[in-house]
Chain A
């Protein structure tokens, strides 16, 4: 221990080596977000929506291009060892940027209004107050969501590349705080939305505390917060301070499992998903999950993988519970958004099965799953925003009855996405499940048990999805429910989501290979 302390206080200040091209995509996103804040302050109100949408999409696309052109050739552990820009980080960051583009396109939907349709005109006003009415009448709009989204994306990008626990925590908070705010900004049913935001915030803070406590214990154990050093410490440690290791691992993992919505840390998921503005729900479901799984992969594979026999069983139980509870609870849901929330819980369980296989193939499978699920889920939530009764979202299941009669295209696209969630062959859902379950089966008994539970849970969720399809196609339509015609951005978003779902199902080879080639960590 004394040796570590002296190393922490070097005689002279040493400049940290930074590979700027490796981290350039994140710098682009920060710059875009900061410019977005300035736009909020200085651009005239009526033009903000257009500027913000253009700026956000542009920023994300430039970051994606920078990542694909330069960062790809600059794999490095940089920023003094706090960031590892390796294959996994780049694949996940690229996927994040792509999915965020789709998510932002959905957020930009105006349905003929002056600002984004999903967001309240003035977040600070009391729901139902005169102030709110005045803001609506004046045509205000919450265009702040776009810079907030960029900050959240930045946090996620840091999260998947973070190579030490402190950076990981910073990433976690940077991605969470904007999301708490965005959750509370729904235009309709604002009380529900604000309640959801508060719950999400409280429980998020609670889980962050777990993470931080765990990180402190791990630091105490290894003398460093660097994931690689923690890994080395576990293999070389002679047995002193061993009591700190297991609680440290479990508590940090709890913090991360909270973000993916694993049972029993999932309780916030249905409430937050239901209350949040639907485009935000889609963005959260896809991107937060992806980022959190990126962090879990790095923590478990790079950091604490070498003593996994001590803690793996706990996560196996969590994975099984997650699949079972997610699937079973989706059966009795009556709200489309809550149904998709529980489905996302079940999917988190499926992905955990892959994570626990601890092989290179599993990393590729998990990353493929995250990409496929993300694209499908954003498109699904985008369709939910379109189905309306009396101007507000018709999220109760009974309102979806007979949708296929009047809106065959919308219902058809939604039915297809549901089949992908269910994992029907020739959709990305099947390929993804195959790619994550196959390594799990090879990993041993626990893997086989989890896969059996996973397949049974899939059967239960398939029942739920098919019931919804039957409802859309074989029952009498509810009068007054219409599917609004989306504008170009959300049409593009839904088309992209459906296309990815098709292509990753029918021609999965290319994406699978890309994920497979990217599936190695730098230490």
Chain B
């Protein structure tokens, strides 16, 4: 099955023509916005946020033009390559940087620029009274530019540049309110955990450079056919480490919950819709490697399965609305990873779920922001309840996102998630049962914790603190929410039953194979829906019908564990931080004594030689002339002797 797809190969990208030849504009526009806002300083305070929003929309508009161009072309001609910069085009030293505009990258461009622009608009309202609004919008634009560079690059090297760029923007935005030490710590945590992932990615890139002699997708894809299995598995696993860091997958997931310290639009854009899905993009983009290294692909699927359950369990116990949503994000990305790890049966659905998730999760985060806006920035759901009356639009838009994520037909999530569950049940041996089982159970838990979240926030008794007066948010915030809600409702319907997404991605990831699941399609759908309804019922019984205590009660061991993220921080601290600190100390010692000693010794040696040699420079012209004469005599004499 795998070899079949590899044999199909990836059609070579033609040189860009038409709108695609100006694809660099997609990245350049938001980058220009960020540059103007950051370099312009206070002068740009007045018009800066509007300019940044405009730049983002302009990038979207241009993305639509490119999309239309691609739609007008036949499937084989939808890949455009664009060389931006070629450094010393000499010999074997290949260092070209370019962009690749193909169906996969354009799908991401549409998601990033559309959701990104909506969130820019929302932020105009959300951050209205923030004194540092300009800096916020500059970082948002910077993020959009870096994310677009990440998905549009034609090589792992440029992808890495974008990868680090989004990491930087994420760091700056998590710590945006860094006067709060906890938030600054959260930013550092995200940064440090991401370093682990980035190390994996950079090692993968180096391995590719050594094995294939280049790091562009084209070179790597060509080289895979002749590479050894060990190399491919190593590259696949290293890429997976990178993906885990960026996409908050097990075991590098600990930073995502804390990252919610950033302003809510940031959580919506970066930590739900776009940046955290970069890992999925990386795996799908590297599909040639994973197709040729099934062991690495299996590792991807297993990581996805573990994370989707992990996130779902954590989500059940969180009382902080944003952290519960973060846990759910982690879990949903687990689904995408699982799908991506399944190989050709799953790639298209991984991207499909990524797109629908981008809409409904961003919509829910914006809804959460709207709730916080009306509740004096509180996040504790135990002090919410009954908000459906006070915030009708938020309730409705959030509700559509909620229905989408739990996978009720005909909303978006149903189409994408059901396909993933179905694909997970394909294959042979133990794999369909373990992977499919995880996906199925995950769907049930998802229904429970999302219903819990929804009911605790919008229904049941009002448990508000005394000084809050919930009110609906202004239009500038609710309109983006409505647009996203429409997407949550209908995007799946548009792309799912029509098989549009499989056909669209076919030129990139190969033909989508029809595979039979170990359980029939209809029974499987039935079981899934049954579990979902069961989850909703359980949540309804405990969090709508019954009163929710205002302080979290002492609960079972599992709940307590889930409340502290299944002891992830404790594990990290015990397993990595403390030994790491000791290791660092001893390394510093060794470095000071050994490496610095050696370097210092070398320097002293050269310095000593230099001081001696310097004495030849006496300052007397006569001795200079003598040096010259000696030189001439020596050279001439030696040459004569040799001759």
A258 to chain B, nearest CB (A): 7
Chain A hits for B542, CB < 8 A: none
| A438 contacts chain B at the CB level, 8 A cutoff | yes
Q: Which residues of B contact A254 (CB under 8 A)?
A: 628, 631-632, 635
Whether B643 is near chain A, meaning CB under 8 Å from some CB there, is yes
- Chain A residues, CB < 8 A from B603: 331, 463
Q: B642: CB under 8 A from chain A?
A: yes
- A46 contacts the other chain (CB 8 A): no
CB contact between A329 and one of B610, B621, B635, B643 (< 8 Å): that residue: B610
* Shortest Cβ gap from A473 to chain B (Å): 19
| A247 proximity list for chain B (CB < 8 A) | 636
Kindly state the separation between the CA atoms of A210 and B607 in the bound complex, as whole angstroms. 34
User: Main SS of the interface on chain B?
Assistant: helix
Q: From known contacts A314-B635, A332-B610, infer whether A264 and B88 are also in contact, taking CB-CB under 8 Å.
A: no
Q: A265 at interface (Cβ–Cβ under 8 A)? A: yes
Given contacts A250-B639, A329-B614, A463-B603, contact A506 B631 (CB under 8 A): no
Name the contact of B613 in the complex, choosing from A270, A311, A329, A431 (C-beta under 8 A). Answer: A329
A203 touches B625 (CB 8 A): yes
Please give, as numbers and ranges, the residues of chain B lying within 8 Å of A332 by CB-CB distance. Answer: 607, 610-611, 614
Cβ of A470 < 8 Å from any Cβ of B? no
Report how far A250 CA is from B628 CA in the complex, Å. Answer: 13
Interface pair B88/A251, CB less than 8 Å apart: no
Contact call A246/B636, Cβ cutoff below 8 A: yes
Bound-complex Cα distance A332 to B607 (A) = 6
Q: Which of A162-170, A372-380, A507-515 contacts B (4 or more CB under 8 A)?
A: A507-515
Report if B523 contacts A (CB, 8 A).
no
- Give Cα distance in the complex from A258 to B629, angstroms: 12
In-complex Cβ contact of A203 among B91, B614, B621, B630 (8 A):
B621
Partner of B632, one of A210, A271, A434, A508: A210
Interface SS, A side:
helix
Could you say which of B90, B627, B639 contacts A310, with CB atoms under 8 Å apart? B639
Rounded to whole Å, the gap between the CB of A356 and the closest CB of chain B is: 14
Is the interface on chain A under 10, 10 to 19, 20 to 34, or 35 or more residues?
A: 35 or more
**Alpha-carbon gap, A60 to B121, bound state (A):** 56
Is A267's CB within 8 Å of the partner chain B? yes
Given contacts A314-B638, A332-B607, contact A258 B628 (CB under 8 A): yes
Q: A206's closest neighbor in chain B, by CB?
A: B625
Q: Which of A241-294 contact B (CB under 8 A)?
A: 246-247, 250-251, 254, 258, 263-265, 267-268, 270-271
Q: Which residues of B contact A199 (CB under 8 A)?
A: 621, 624
Interface centre among B90, B611, B623, B627 (most CB of A within 10 A): B90
User: From residue 296 to 355 of chain A, which have CB atoms closer than 8 A to chain B?
Assistant: 310-311, 313-314, 317-318, 325, 328-332
Determine which of A207, A314, A506 lies in contact with B639 in the assembled complex, contact meaning CB atoms within 8 Å.
A314
User: A207 contacts which chain B residues (CB < 8 A)?
Assistant: 628
Q: Report yes or no: B613 in contact with A325, Cβ–Cβ below 8 A.
A: yes
Contact (Cβ within 8 A) A328 B610: yes
Kindly state the separation between the CA atoms of A331 and B605 in the bound complex, as whole angstroms.
11
**Interface assignment of A28: CB less than 8 Å from any CB of chain B:** no
B635 near A318 with CB under 8 A, answer: yes
Contact of B85 among A202, A265, A329, A507 (CB under 8 A): A507
Docked CA distance A509–B639 (Å): 40
Chain A CB within 10 Å — which of B617, B638, B642, B643 has the most? B617
Q: In whole angstroms, what is the CA distance A106 to B340 when docked?
A: 61
Name the distance in Å between A335's Cβ and chain B's nearest Cβ. Answer: 12
Q: Do residues B625 and A202 form an inter-chain contact, with CB atoms below 8 A?
A: yes
- Cβ contacts A to B, 11 pairs, < 8 Å: A199-B621, A202-B625, A250-B639, A251-B632, A263-B631, A267-B627, A314-B636, A314-B639, A328-B610, A332-B611, A506-B87
Known: A254-B635, A330-B610, A509-B86. 5 other contacts (CB 8 A): A199-B624, A246-B636, A264-B627, A264-B630, A331-B610
B interface residues with partner A (beta carbon < 8 Å): 85-91, 93, 603, 606-607, 609-611, 613-614, 616-617, 619, 621, 623-625, 627-628, 630-632, 635-636, 638-640, 642-643
